[in-house]
Amino acid sequence: GSGAPAASAFSSLPAIGVVGMVAVAVGLVLVSGLIGGFFAAYSTAFYRSIRPTDPETTTP
């Protein structure tokens, strides 16, 4: 048969496997994004708690 072995092997993969890999990849991106956002929020809150804002440098 003609065609690259890699293409044949890839085409033989079950659709659920491809969808699963894509879902895992997207999930990792979303989870890392959420963790980064929460970490930034908690870090900012902690920094503000240990260092009270000065009336002169306070931002609305």
How far does Cα 4 stand from its chain's mean position? 34
Question: Got the DSSP string for 11-44?
Answer: HTS-HHHHHHHHHHHHHHHHHHHHHHHHHHHHHH
Question: 5 vs 49, which has greater pLDDT?
Answer: 49
Give the Cα separation of 58 and 23 in Å (integer).
43
- Burial of 38-51, coded b for 16+ CB within 10 Å and e otherwise, reads eeeeeeeeeeeeee
Q: Residue 50's pLDDT band (boundaries 50, 70, 90)?
A: confident
Global pTM reads 0.44
